[in-house]
Amino acid sequence: MLADMTVRDEHAIPAIVAEGLVKRYGETTALDGVNLEVPAGTVFGLLGPNGAGKTTAVRVLATLIRPDAGTALIGGYDVRRDSHRVRRLIGLTGQYASVDEMLTGAENLLMIGRLLGQSRSEAKARARELLAEFRLDDAADRPAKTYSGGMRRRLDLAASLVGRPRLLFLDEPTTGLDPRSRNEMWEVVRTLVGEHGVTVLLTTQYLEEADQLADDIAVVDHGRIIAQGSPDELKRDTGTQTLAVRPVAGSDLPLVISTVTDIVGASPDIAGTLVSAQVTDPAVLPAVVRRLDDAGVTVGEITLRSSSLDEVFLSLTGHPAEESAAGPRAPGATPSGSGGTTVSASAAAGGHDDDDHDDDDPAARIPAATRS
Amino acid sequence: MSTLTATLPEQSRRREPWPDPTGSARVSPLDTLRHILTLAWRNLVQVKHNPTELIDFSLQPLMFLLLFTYVFGGAIAGSTSDYLTFALPGLIVQNTLFTTLNTGTGLNTDLTKGVFDRLRSLPIARSAPLAGRIVADLAKQVWAIGILLGLGYILGFRIETGPLQALAAIGLVVLFALCASWISVLVGMLVSEPEKVMVFGFTLIFPLTFISNVFVQTNTMPGWLQAFVKVNPVTSLADATRGLFIGGPVLTPTWHVLLWGAGLVAVFAPLAVNAFKRRV
């Protein structure tokens, strides 16, 4: 298994090749020339705020809508000319592709199996298998409208796997889920890719999600891909690092701010007692330490680290990734996503100043969604 | 972010060659039929989990029948049994037209809930989601017609022509309902939420069915209203249905109904398809 994969890799047709995709809705340009290439067997993340065009891209690639310009090939098949063949290869789960709430979990899966040409007994067996795999066997005979959010999402995902798709589209798979359900979803995606060789294209507003799951990320804003690469490449390419200082005593805060401003040459961001600033020269760290030590300030925390994807996004788009710091469910804002030296700017804002959503809060500067 | 590299160990990524999908690029007619029936099953099995819907399309026509026969019947026709004979065919027409609204409601629900997108991402016939819905709704309509005829029989209504004519009557009503459901489909594509289908639909269908000879003879109305009643296809359909159930002129009203039906499809089917394309 390990041996043959490397050889075949070279010749495998990419799962997705898209060139110059354009989609307009009246005055709004939802996709403005999108190019993508997703190798088979990888996870590709489309990252961007609401209204960036992520869902439109998925809908074009999943044959639900036709692009106004450009081409897209799924496993070598054109989404326009060969849409029926494309549909045999794909599974779609997300905000807009849902199960029938009036049917039970089992009936939903049975229906899809039958639609895919399985015999009644095949479809039943496949439904049972998937329900067990997604821990829905107890709820199998209950209407889906009685399911919790996490169960709904699992059933949605199970429904898109009935036909064993080679390519899975996950449109914001964890939006609105609690952290536990979100982690479960991530595990499922990893298993699908790792054990079943499925290619996954996922869209997300959550930087941590893309960071956790994706081999490659395309950052989308206003219908365009503004950056592309592995999470590490993206972080490296922005070239900046983040300096964060937290004094033990709150009374030292003004001194810390003035010191950092002085050394860095720009006003830092302040979140509670955490003072952070973008820097390009690593030498600022010892300089800050020395100066604060001379002034007799006791520092509780001081770090210099690579930028988080939040900061990458901010530096690429000029505006923060929407909602990533606003909601309690946003992965970027949960303490679990921010151990020690990887406290991101938004996590710090969300984690330490939860009740203080004033104008300094990145979430307060969210641009209005451009497309509903 | 050291977890990133641990997320997907290189060796666990089994990269298989991209498979060629087998099968043709088109859906065969037999498969299309199978898809339609599966989706019709889906719409009918919904009733099992939502018994209020069963009450909705069974009890409502019965209430109308009882109310009109026993409350208004004596006043309108002099005797309740005479009125039953006059009104039952018309009530079947009225109820069937009302029920076409369910098609639009159901489609709108599927669109707003995302079920439609899930179905359209599957390798199935493009027409199957709509056709499956319509087939299921027709089945519900035939059921409601059966219930009305059943209660009518208990109350004293008798089919005075013959089984073939009676079947023709049901067939004609269902055929016209099929044509008229394109209006419902159009409304379902245009409105933002399922409840609005009923609001739009009722403002259209309520006057259309009441300003007809479904409940009272045309010649009891003022002249200007008679003019509308006479061109209203609901009047023709009620006439044809009466003729086929209890005797009377059939040919002229039937032609009238068929022409109207064809006209409705010609106007509303393209509008509905266009609205659908703009919606998705």
Per-residue pLDDT at A334: 34
Per-residue pLDDT at A308: 66
Report the number of distinct structural domains present in chain A.
Answer: 2
Per-residue pLDDT at A366: 31
The CATH number assigned to the domain holding A265 equals 3.30.70
Q: Is residue A119 part of a domain?
A: yes
Indicate the residue of A65, A82, A211 with minimum beta-carbon distance to B4.
Answer: A211
Please report, for residues A348, B208, B231, B232, B239, the alpha-carbon distance to residue B225 in angstroms, rounded to integers and kept in the order given. Answer: 73, 12, 10, 11, 17
**Strand spans (E) along chain A:** 16-25, 28-38, 43-47, 69-74, 77-78, 90-94, 167-171, 199-204, 216-221, 224-229, 241-247, 269-271, 274-279, 299-306
Computed over every residue of chain A, the mean pLDDT equals 79
Per-residue pLDDT at A61: 96
pTM for this prediction: 0.76
Q: Which residue of A has its CA nearest to B110?
A: A100
Using a CB-CB cut-off of 8 Å, the residues of chain A touching B26 are 84
Copy the structure tokens of residue B85: 């004979």
Q: What number is the average pLDDT over the span A249-273?
A: 86
ipTM topping 0.95: no
Q: What number is the average pLDDT over the span A18-47?
A: 92
Give the pairing of strands A16-25 and A77-78: unpaired
The CATH number assigned to the domain holding A25 equals 3.40.50.300
Using a CB-CB cut-off of 8 Å, the residues of chain B touching A114 are 34, 38
Per-residue pLDDT at A18: 95
DSSP string of A254-280?
HHHHHHHHHHHSSPPEEETTEEEEEES
A11 or B170, greater pLDDT = B170
Residue A222 has pLDDT above 70, yes or no: yes
**Residue closest to B103 by CA, chosen among B124, B131, B69, B66:** B131
Scanning A158-197 for CB atoms below 8 A from B yields 159-160, 163, 166, 190, 193-195, 197
Min Cα separation A124/chain B (Å): 14
B18 or B276, greater pLDDT = B276
Inform me whether the C-beta atom of residue A99 falls under 8 Å from chain B C-beta atoms. Answer: yes
Q: Is residue B108 part of a domain?
A: yes
Using a CB–CB cut-off of 8 Å, the residues of B that contact A are 1, 3-4, 7-9, 11-19, 21, 23, 25-27, 31, 34-35, 38-39, 41-42, 45-46, 49-50, 110, 113-115, 117-124, 128, 280
A304, A193: one domain: no
Per-residue pLDDT at A276: 86
Inform me whether the C-beta atom of residue A305 falls under 8 Å from chain B C-beta atoms. Answer: no
Number of neighbouring beta carbons within 10 Å of residue B150: 12
Using a CB-CB cut-off of 8 Å, the residues of chain A touching B46 are 100, 102-103
Using a CB-CB cut-off of 8 Å, the residues of chain B touching A166 are 18-19
Q: How confident is the model at residue A267 (pLDDT cuts 50, 70, 90)?
A: confident
Residue contact A104–B18, C-beta within 8 A:
no
Q: Is residue B115 part of a domain?
A: yes
Residue B67 has pLDDT above 60, yes or no: yes
Residue B215 has pLDDT above 80, yes or no: yes
Per-residue pLDDT at A354: 35
Residue contact A103–B42, C-beta within 8 A:
yes
A216, A263: one domain: no
Q: What number is the average pLDDT over the span A220-227?
A: 89
Q: Which residues contact A48 (CB under 8 A, 6 or more apart)?
A: A54, A203, A205, A219, A220, A221, A321
Residue from B2, B11, B13 whose CB has the most chain A CBs within 10 Å, to mutate: B13
Q: Which of A200, A235, A270 is the last residue of a domain?
A: A235
- Domain span including residue A211: 2-235
A229, A248: one domain: no
A304 or A344, greater pLDDT = A304
A278, A289: one domain: yes
Per-residue pLDDT at A270: 86
Read off the pLDDT of residues A154-182 as tens digits, 9 standing for 90 and up.
Answer: 999 999 999 999 999 999 988 888 888 88
Per-residue pLDDT at A361: 35
| CB-neighbour burial class of residue A85 (10 A; exposed 0-12, middle 13-18, buried 19+) | buried
Residue B9 has pLDDT above 50, yes or no: no
Inform me whether the C-beta atom of residue A201 falls under 8 Å from chain B C-beta atoms. Answer: no
Lowest-confidence segment of A198-202, B168-172, B192-196, B257-261 by average pLDDT: B192-196
Distance CA B56, CA B52 (A): 6
Lowest-confidence segment of A99-103, A284-288, A358-362 by average pLDDT: A358-362
- Domain span including residue B149: 28-279
Q: How confident is the model at residue B18 (pLDDT cuts 50, 70, 90)?
A: low
A354, A292: one domain: yes
Please report, for residues A62, A91, A99, A153, B124, the alpha-carbon distance to residue A94 in angstroms, rounded to integers and kept in the order given. Answer: 12, 10, 10, 8, 20
Report the number of distinct structural domains present in chain B.
Answer: 1
Q: Which of A235, A253, A277 is the last residue of a domain?
A: A235
Per-residue pLDDT at A242: 81
Residue from A2, A78, A115, A236 whose CB has the most chain B CBs within 10 Å, to mutate: A115
Q: How confident is the model at residue B11 (pLDDT cuts 50, 70, 90)?
A: very low
Per-residue pLDDT at A118: 94
Computed over every residue of chain B, the mean pLDDT equals 87
Inform me whether the C-beta atom of residue A66 falls under 8 Å from chain B C-beta atoms. Answer: no
A142 or B4, greater pLDDT = A142
Residue A195 has pLDDT above 80, yes or no: yes
Q: Is residue A372 part of a domain?
A: no
Indicate the residue of A64, A195, A213 with minimum beta-carbon distance to B120.
Answer: A64
Using a CB-CB cut-off of 8 Å, the residues of chain A touching B50 are 102
Residue A250 has pLDDT above 60, yes or no: yes
Residue contact A342–B123, C-beta within 8 A:
no
Copy the structure tokens of residue A257: 């701010």
**Residue closest to A221 by CA, chosen among A50, A2, A82:** A50
Per-residue pLDDT at A337: 34
A361 or A20, greater pLDDT = A20
Q: Is residue B23 part of a domain?
A: no
**Farthest-apart Cα atoms in chain B, separation:** 89
Residue A228 has pLDDT above 50, yes or no: yes
Residue contact B4–A12, C-beta within 8 A:
no
Q: Which of A200, A215, A235 is the last residue of a domain?
A: A235
Question: What is the separation of C-alpha A299 from the centre of its chain, rounded to a whole number of angstroms?
Answer: 34
At A324, give phi and psi (nearest 5°). -65, -20
Q: Is residue B58 part of a domain?
A: yes
Helix (H, G, I), strand (E, B) or coil at A14: coil
Distance CA A141, CA B15 (A): 36
Q: What percent of chain A has pLDDT over 90?
A: 38
Q: Is residue B147 part of a domain?
A: yes
Indicate the residue of B12, B42, B46 with minimum beta-carbon distance to A194.
Answer: B12
Q: What percent of chain A has pLDDT over 70?
A: 79
Residue contact A2–B11, C-beta within 8 A:
yes
**Residue closest to A164 by CA, chosen among A120, A134, A198:** A198
Read off the pLDDT of residues B109-139 as tens digits, 9 standing for 90 and up.
Answer: 999 988 999 999 999 999 999 999 999 999 9
A205, A249: one domain: no
Residue A321 has pLDDT above 70, yes or no: no
Q: Give the full edge-to-edge strand order of the sheet including A241-247.
A: A269-271, A274-279, A241-247, A299-306
Residue A363 has pLDDT above 70, yes or no: no
A183, A102: one domain: yes
